[in-house]
Structure 1
Amino acid sequence: MYESRGQRHAITDQCPGSIPVLSVSSNGQWESARSRENSSRKECRDKERDRYGDGGKYAGRHSELKDRATCLTQNSTDRSRTPHPGNGINRDGTPRPVKGAWGQGRHRHPQHPLARTPTRPLQRNWEVCPVLRPPGGAMFEFSVLSYNILSQELLHRNASLYKHCHSRALPWEYRLPNLLAEIRHYNADILCLQEVQADHYEKQIKPALQEMGYQCEYKKRTGPNLDGCAVVFKPSRLSFLSAHPVEYFRSGIPPLDRDNVGLILLLQPVPTDCVQSDPSDFICVANTHLLYNPQRGDVKLAQLAVLLAEINRLSRLPGGSVNPVVMCGDLNSTPWSPLYSFLTTGFLEYQGIPVDRVSGQNSAPRGQRLLTAPLWSQRLGVDTHCLYDTNAQQQFHNYTTTTRPCRYYTTVPPLCDTTTPIIHTGAVSSQMTSDRPRIDHSLNLRSSYQHLLAHNGTPEVTTWNSTVDYILYTPPDAGTCSHLPDSRGLELLGRLSLVGKSELKAVRHLPNQHHSSDHLPLLARFRLHR
């Protein structure tokens, strides 16, 4: 029973699944209609709260609210009258969102929380690369994925960068299943992950990856930072030899005053019936996340020199030959920048380069500070060839790395020979006659990507506006290192295509409903001739 203005009204009709419809007198018609709408809204709130919980995952369904509004309209006493526009009902009978944030127990947006985001993910295809060396003999093929998965702590700390994103796509509870689904879909043999938050790694990421058949190694950033780098691999395909975390922070040694890190693993292909294990036959896999600050190119070059020195030490064999290297990571540098050129050409004449142009991140550099010699202090123990100084090598190694041998071996096979000099040949040695200050390295690194889209020649992007993520490898031709046998080089078989700026703009950038990081994963497949 219901009362309005002192008059008692009986229920004469009822719409199934909706509030009761009343017959009212003419002088009480307007107030009764408003009362019915208030009751409708209250019942909607109560049922939604009972069904989804107060602030549940999808608090409010468009179809259900619209059906209730339509039912109310059709069963009103004066059917020609438009329902009174309350907080939840428009004049056309459709539900209207109530002001207020999601998750506070009120009516939510009537549509799916991610309805405004794209309905389709980015289209990425597999690109087959031309093979220069025909298959033959003992071979081992493997795939590598590099992925900056966006630490949740960094997302919160830099929330202003993600205002363009739908708020429902940002919580870790939504992003984690998407990230794990991507990793499971690509099914790579080796994963190099950056911005892996330590607590999420231990409690969620590591157990999930172990269930997928992976073995995980992790290095947290130094200082108060909560994220780090992880290298993950399938022990069914690769045997673990040793792990070597690298810390870039050096107290009192400028410019190494930042808490970035790297992680290097030595992995050996699992023996097969046709190919037996060789202790010297391994792959050196390096993963790193260099400093972001576009104004500090000097720091990035010094961090890179430390990583290259450790890669050189670990990949070299006693006879002077070098095993293949895969170097992944978020280098916070764009293609064809001075830092990228240093990696891919083997040298950099740095004198006079503006510090804020080293990484290529600044479209309009404004700094006046220039790179000058020397780039780092001799106390670092790394020379201009990105090799350890003989006297300082052991001290530096003890300070920066921890070697953990595989439990299946009682000893670690010999990894380096500090007495064997590295011989520079080819393009690098021809340039070393110059008197201009330079740095160089002996690795012949090549990018797995061309950095231009094949169909239109526009730049590829791995994040919002540029490419900063890479998978670098040592190819068979060994250009700058004469003692690297062809058999120890890696052959690029294919890669997962990237997209351009326009494609990212079309999906409202990253993260979004389908892509739960602000970076895109890179995936490449290699062949190792053994």
Structure 2
Amino acid sequence: MNIPVDCWQHFPPLNCNHTQNQMHVQRNHRRWARTRFGITFRYDRRYSHPFKLMSYNILAQTLIEKHPYLYTTHYQPYLEWPHRLQCLRNEILNIKPEILCLQEVQESHLDDIAMALKPMNYDKPLYKQRTGIDYYDGCAIFYNPQLFKLIDHHYVEFYQPGVKVLDRCNVAIIAKFASRRLKNIQFIVATTHLLYNPKRDDVRTAQLQILLAELDRMSVHTETQEPLPIILTGDFNSLPSSEPYKLVHQGRTNSVNLPLELGITDDCQHMNVTIHQNRKTTALFHSDKKTNDATETVSDDVSDSTDKTAVAKTVETSGLPYNTGSLWHMLNLTPTLYNMESNNIASTYQNKWILVDYIFYTKYSRRTVGPVVIPQTFSSLKLLANFELPYVQNCQRMGCIPNSIYGSDHYSMASEFVLMNR
């Protein structure tokens, strides 16, 4: 059932106290917590640009219909799209994020979501559907164009023909923004939804190797070519003890050895970037250039005409790190929450309450060479506060989700950042 996109007030009401009940439950279930920097931070419009960012797997309706056995214990009216959209809308409008990253966004519901979030004054969202004809959901990024200018973006596909470890349909979006308040301040926001299969850390690690290489390629200032701070969000389907999580946070894990012809080395960089300083083209396959780009400055890195044999030979003879047995990267990404390894907090239920959703950010300035990043100075992006995830015991008391309050089978992630002129 779709809601009339031209008339939000036609949305069927739940009850007059629903929004108040939702806010009351959230206040008791979750809370905003300031960081040490956030406690002492004093806003100055001349030098700082604070904003909230939210990441949320909102559960595509087609997946409920495709896997009904996962929701047999739920009260069925709470699984219907109109109810869930109302709950999602209330939660998002309560947080008020200037940038919103969503996963499992059903393409046919994109207009419904945009109309529901009209009070947020978002621009047309960036949207990338999962690769393949049998998938109807994907990732999306909404943003406030009065605060941020979208200067570049790219839709990442992890599917690569003929590569067994990359034969899945998952995708990501990378967006490069400029602050409209601070001159020459740019930053990267990316969101993804990695493979679900709990047994396939190797697939998720390979997907992350591509995503990290794409982030490395795109995260440079358009004028100065200096490295930009990054915010990476999404449903990683990876526990804090897993190899994919270690690769993102600790910057190193065991290698899965992608084929040479993809042109990505063990330091999660594109050969074209390392050898040729070419950030416009890669050896990666992309299924369709004609995605719904919101800007004409989209990066063009479709490579059907690339000579993959020549790419493989170049990597093999270049002396670049390949088949070393390890993967590493230089993006220096830190999780926004500090107690992730404690197993006391959760973002979804998969046979038990677990944590698989994250927001990572560039806390320290990045080096452009060398596998070891030694923090020198803080980046222009700083963390002010987190909307903390619920404790497992609170999740157990709340019961299964979606429910009367929450519209998804994941809890949302949210953080408040500030961009600063250093």
- Both structures adopt the same fold (TM-score exceeding 0.5): yes
**Alignment of 1:504 onto 2:391:** no
Alignment match, 1:517: 408
**Alignment of 1:389 onto 2:266:** no
The residue matched to 1:450 in structure 2 has which SS?
coil
Once the two structures are TM-superposed, the CA of residue 398 in structure 1 deviates from its matched residue by 7.2
Give unmatched runs, 5+ long, in structure 2: 1-11, 15-23, 300-320
Measure, in 2, the Cα distance between the counterparts of 1:186 and 1:349: 38
- Contact 1:383 / 1:389 at 8 angstroms: preserved in 2? yes
| TM-score, normalised relative to structure 1 | 0.62
Once the two structures are TM-superposed, the CA of residue 395 in structure 1 deviates from its matched residue by 4.3
Once the two structures are TM-superposed, the CA of residue 129 in structure 1 deviates from its matched residue by 0.6
Query: Structure 2 counterpart of 1:379, which letter?
Result: E
- Contact 1:328 / 1:471 at 8 angstroms: preserved in 2? yes
Alignment match, 2:248: 343
1:254 to 164, 168, 171: 164
**Alignment of 1:187 onto 2:74:** no
Residues 153, 412 of structure 1: CA spacing in aligned structure 2 closer, same or farther, 3 A cutoff?
closer
- Contact 2:49 / 2:418 at 8 angstroms: preserved in 1? yes
- Contact 2:262 / 2:284 at 8 angstroms: preserved in 1? no
Measure, in 2, the Cα distance between the counterparts of 1:487 and 1:235: 27
Aligned pairs (5 A) from 1:33-432: 120=25, 123-131=29-37, 138-202=47-111, 204-215=112-123, 216-223=125-132, 224-271=134-181, 275=182, 277-278=183-184, 281-317=185-221, 321-350=226-255, 374-390=256-272, 394-396=281-283, 399=286
Once the two structures are TM-superposed, the CA of residue 319 in structure 1 deviates from its matched residue by 5.7
Alignment match, 1:38: none
**Alignment of 1:462 onto 2:347:** yes
Higher relative contact order by CA 8 Å / sep ≥ 6: 1 or 2? Answer: 2
- Contact 1:247 / 1:401 at 8 angstroms: preserved in 2? no
The residue matched to 1:394 in structure 2 has which SS?
coil
Once the two structures are TM-superposed, the CA of residue 336 in structure 1 deviates from its matched residue by 2.6
The residue matched to 1:160 in structure 2 has which SS?
helix
Residues 505, 306 of structure 1: CA spacing in aligned structure 2 closer, same or farther, 3 A cutoff?
same
The residue matched to 1:514 in structure 2 has which SS?
coil
- Contact 1:164 / 1:508 at 8 angstroms: preserved in 2? no
Residues 210, 505 of structure 1: CA spacing in aligned structure 2 closer, same or farther, 3 A cutoff?
same
Residues 398, 297 of structure 1: CA spacing in aligned structure 2 closer, same or farther, 3 A cutoff?
closer
| TM-score, normalised relative to structure 2 | 0.77
Measure, in 1, the Cα distance between the counterparts of 2:35 and 2:148: 24
Measure, in 2, the Cα distance between the counterparts of 1:344 and 1:401: 31
Note the alpha carbon deviations across 1:249-287, whole angstroms, 9 max, x for none: 11112210000000011111113xxx4x32xx3110000
Measure, in 1, the Cα distance between the counterparts of 2:360 and 2:372: 16
Query: Structure 1 counterpart of 2:404, which letter?
Result: Q
Once the two structures are TM-superposed, the CA of residue 515 in structure 1 deviates from its matched residue by 0.7
The residue matched to 1:229 in structure 2 has which SS?
strand
- Contact 2:345 / 2:390 at 8 angstroms: preserved in 1? yes
Query: Structure 1 counterpart of 2:75, which letter?
Result: H
The residue matched to 1:174 in structure 2 has which SS?
helix
> Cα RMSD between the aligned structures?
3.4
Once the two structures are TM-superposed, the CA of residue 406 in structure 1 deviates from its matched residue by 6.9
- Contact 1:129 / 1:494 at 8 angstroms: preserved in 2? yes
Residues 496, 411 of structure 1: CA spacing in aligned structure 2 closer, same or farther, 3 A cutoff?
closer
Measure, in 2, the Cα distance between the counterparts of 1:194 and 1:166: 23
Residues 401, 288 of structure 1: CA spacing in aligned structure 2 closer, same or farther, 3 A cutoff?
farther
Residues 400, 490 of structure 1: CA spacing in aligned structure 2 closer, same or farther, 3 A cutoff?
farther
The residue matched to 1:336 in structure 2 has which SS?
coil
Query: Structure 1 counterpart of 2:200, which letter?
Result: R
Residues 282, 262 of structure 1: CA spacing in aligned structure 2 closer, same or farther, 3 A cutoff?
same
Work out the percentage of aligned pairs sharing the same amino acid. Answer: 31
Give unmatched runs, 5+ long, in structure 1: 1-55, 59-118, 351-373, 414-432
The residue matched to 1:340 in structure 2 has which SS?
helix
Query: Structure 2 counterpart of 1:293, which letter?
Result: N
Once the two structures are TM-superposed, the CA of residue 411 in structure 1 deviates from its matched residue by 6.8
Residues 509, 260 of structure 1: CA spacing in aligned structure 2 closer, same or farther, 3 A cutoff?
same
Note the alpha carbon deviations across 1:156-213, whole angstroms, 9 max, x for none: 11111112211121111211111111111110111000000000113x1123334530
The residue matched to 1:250 in structure 2 has which SS?
coil
- Contact 2:270 / 2:282 at 8 angstroms: preserved in 1? no
- Bigger-Rg structure (1/2): 1
Once the two structures are TM-superposed, the CA of residue 243 in structure 1 deviates from its matched residue by 2.0
- Contact 2:168 / 2:195 at 8 angstroms: preserved in 1? yes
- Contact 2:382 / 2:417 at 8 angstroms: preserved in 1? yes
Query: Structure 1 counterpart of 2:187, which letter?
Result: I
- Contact 1:124 / 1:497 at 8 angstroms: preserved in 2? yes
Once the two structures are TM-superposed, the CA of residue 475 in structure 1 deviates from its matched residue by 0.5
The residue matched to 1:262 in structure 2 has which SS?
strand
